[in-house]
């Protein structure tokens, strides 16, 4: 009897250790569900209508459909070059019910001192990469990147180069481009793309740094000049738009796109984080969300939990020298 009891106790210990190991690696969300009395809020640190906001809303609808949990909403919290919305997630209760639409703009905001950013967040899932474009008003006299740069250098400060925020990724692009062009542009930082787009459409800003989806959504009013990445768009509408290299500016070193993913307040329960990661993964793989990515020319970049954190670490190392070169880096990143 004692021998049997010892075997049973040993087996229980083995099972317990396996369970602990499983939790450390992410475990499973099959036996967990969020509190039906609570609401999961996905904070977009930019205004409504931009590429980040649109993707967030598409994802939330897909999450509702695949999980059956309907209490998921999107909230736009603007200001501080995305720092205010990011800080609201960092300061929220660490229960996993407050999420952030994370992106390269958070990396920029962290390195420039606007927010503690990724230091105060846990990584749930990476989603996509969206190419950046330079675009002007459809009736602008500028028809190429070369036209714009020549005009700016001929009369320094006369050509306004807009972006979605000084520490947003498009801000880093604008400042980096300006430095490369001997500070010929008048760089103007707007409070998100929701302000940048009407400024360019209304003729108050000469040229803007946009996500591809923003140009696509305003195809009647915006004229794309160049892709900032190395590759052409997969969208038929933009296949004739040149890359930097094709435009004769292949040595212009600026971020070529905006990465987006989902994070939550640091220290959230492991079960909740696993449920979120699994739900986002199912939503990401749904037909509707995949169609959304394809229709908007977004490049899939899915990862979750530890893999997403590793992806982010690599992204930080890649962007650090670019941000330092702009002169915007602060604190430990300025060294």
CATH number at residue 182: 3.40.190.10
Query: Considering the domain boundaries, does residue 286 fall inside one?
Result: yes
Per DSSP, the residues of 247-279 read: TT-TT-----EEEEEEEEETT--HHHHHHHHHH
| Inside any domain, residue 26 | no
Residues 147 and 92 both lie in one domain: no
- Give the residue among 213, 207, 224 at the shortest CA–CA distance from 163: 207
Is residue 93 included in any domain, yes or no? yes
Q: In 212-305, where do the E strands start and end?
A: 222-227, 257-265, 299-304
pLDDT at 29: 60
- Residue 111 shares a structural domain with residue 161: no
Place of tokens 């939503």: 283
In the prediction, which pLDDT does 139 show? 96
Contact 76, 47 (CB under 8 A): yes
Residues 141 and 223 in one domain: yes
- Pair of tokens at residue 323: 């941000």
Which CATH number does the domain housing residue 283 bear?
3.40.190.150
Across the chain, which has 335 residues, the per-10-residue mean pLDDT values are 38 38 45 93 91 94 97 94 92 97 92 90 95 96 96 97 86 89 94 91 96 90 91 82 92 86 98 98 97 89 96 89 83 84
Q: Is 10 within the bounds of a domain?
A: no
> What is the rounded distance in angstroms from the CA atom of residue 1 to the CA atom of residue 266?
48
Q: How many domains does the chain have?
A: 2
- If asked whether residues 135 and 60 sit together in one domain, one would say no
Regarding whether 211 and 116 lie in a shared domain, the answer is no
In the chain, how many H helices and how many E strands?
A: 11, 10
Domain extent, residue 119, equals 40-130+257-334
**Can you give the pLDDT at residue 207?**
98
- Inter-residue contact 239 to 74 (CB < 8 Å): no
Q: Are residues 224 and 157 in the same domain?
A: yes
Is 28 contained in some domain?
no
Among candidate residues 238, 267, 288, the one where a domain is terminated: 238
Q: Is residue 248 part of a domain?
A: no
Does residue 81 lie within any of the structural domains?
A: yes
Cα–Cα dist 203/21, whole Å: 59
Looking at residue 11, its pLDDT comes to: 36
- DSSP state, 298? P
Q: Are residues 267 and 118 in the same domain?
A: yes
Q: How far apart are CA 86 and CA 101, in angstroms?
A: 9
Task: Flag whether 19 is in a domain.
Answer: no
- Does one domain contain both 266 and 291? yes
């Amino acid at each position: 009897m004692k021998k049997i009891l010892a075997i049973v106790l040993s087996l229980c210990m083995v099972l317990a250790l396996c369970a602990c190991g499983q939790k450390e690696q992410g475990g499973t969300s099959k036996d967990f569900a969020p509190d039906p009395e609570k609401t999961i809020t996905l904070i977009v640190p930019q205004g409504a209508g931009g590429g980040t906001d649109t993707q967030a809303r598409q994802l939330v609808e897909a999450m509702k459909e695949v999980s059956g949990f309907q209490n998921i909403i999107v909230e736009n919290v603007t200001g501080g070059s995305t720092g205010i919305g990011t800080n609201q997630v960092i300061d929220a209760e660490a229960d996993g019910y407050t999420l952030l639409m994370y992106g390269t703009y958070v990396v920029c905001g962290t390195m420039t001192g606007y927010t503690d950013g990724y230091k105060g967040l846990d990584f749930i899932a990476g989603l996509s990469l969206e190419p950046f474009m330079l675009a002007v008003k459809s009736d602008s006299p500028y028809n190429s990147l070369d036209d714009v740069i020549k005009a700016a250098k001929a009369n320094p400060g006369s050509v306004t180069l807009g972006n979605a925020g000084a520490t947003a990724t498009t801000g880093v692009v604008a400042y980096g481009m300006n430095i490369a062009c001997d500070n010929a542009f008048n760089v103007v930082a707007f409070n998100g793309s929701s302000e940048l787009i009407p400024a360019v459409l209304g003729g108050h800003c000469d040229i803007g740094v946009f996500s591809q989806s923003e140009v696509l959504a305003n195809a009647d009013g915006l004229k794309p000049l160049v892709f900032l990445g190395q590759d052409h768009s997969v969208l038929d509408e933009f296949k004739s738009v040149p890359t930097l290299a094709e435009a004769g500016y292949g040595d212009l070193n600026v971020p070529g796109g905006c990465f987006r993913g989902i994070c939550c307040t640091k220290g959230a329960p492991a079960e909740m984080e696993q449920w979120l990661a699994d739900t986002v993964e199912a939503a990401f793989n749904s037909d509707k969300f995949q169609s959304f990515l394809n229709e908007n020319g977004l490049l899939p970049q899915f990862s979750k939990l530890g893999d997403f954190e590793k992806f982010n670490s690599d992204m930080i190392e890649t962007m650090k020298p670019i941000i330092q070169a702009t002169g915007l880096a602060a604190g430990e990143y300025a060294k």
